[in-house]
Structure 1
Amino acid sequence: MYLHLGQNEIVSDHRVIGIFDLDKCTYGKRTRDYLAAAEQEGVVLDVSGDIPKSFVVCDHPYHRQIVYLSQLNPSTLKNRAESTNLEL
């Protein structure tokens, strides 16, 4: 199944490593360092089209990981991921 991240961006739910709240997670130094390093590596994709509310870390065949910034709430993405898994 697939997970719609917003702005016509869809990823395979098997590639999703984690869904995180951008406001809550960026208080931590490790998260800020991780996002800064991902930005420097060029593996951050902003698919929000607006102010991002969450970020989704995914496995990627050509990079170690890829980070998507999404305008959707983490709870919305979590519910979408859970609803696609129920259909299996």
Structure 2
Amino acid sequence: MLLHIGQDISIFSKDIVAIIDYSTIQESESNQEFLKTAEEEGFLMSLTDKPHSFVVTIDRIYLSPISAITLAKRVGEFPK
């Protein structure tokens, strides 16, 4: 199934590795370093100037304007 993550971008739910609340960036030095490295290597795609979550997939990281809770609920609604 496809999951809409903002700005007309949808991704396959099977490709999702993690959905993480963006506020954890301030709390975690390792998350900051992870996103910095992803940006430097061209794997980071920002969909907004004010991200609420970051979605890690098998080949890219998206900064989404949609909250991690909302995205997780949407993924949970998919049939297994």
TM-score (norm 2): 0.92
Deviation, 1:26, is 3.4
Residue number in structure 1 paired with 2:42: 42
Residue number in structure 1 paired with 2:77: 83
Residue number in structure 2 paired with 1:11: 11
1:15-49 deviations in Å (ceiling 9; x for gaps): 0000000112432111111111001001110113x
Deviation, 1:2, is 1.1
Deviation, 1:12, is 0.4
Task: Point out 4+ residue stretches in structure 1 off by more than 4 angstroms.
Answer: none
Whole-Å Cα distance in 1 between the matches of residues 21 and 77 of structure 2? 19
| Aligned amino acid, residue 7 of structure 1 | Q
* Structure whose alpha-carbon radius of gyration is higher: 1
Where structure 2 has 5 or more consecutive residues not aligned to the other structure, the ranges are none
Alignment of 1:25-64 (within 5 A): 25-48=25-48, 50-60=49-59
| Aligned amino acid, residue 70 of structure 1 | S
Asked whether the 8 Å contact 2:24–2:31 carries over to 1, the reply is: no
Whole-Å Cα distance in 1 between the matches of residues 25 and 15 of structure 2? 21
| Aligned amino acid, residue 52 of structure 2 | K
Q: How many residues align?
A: 80
Where structure 1 has 5 or more consecutive residues not aligned to the other structure, the ranges are 61-65
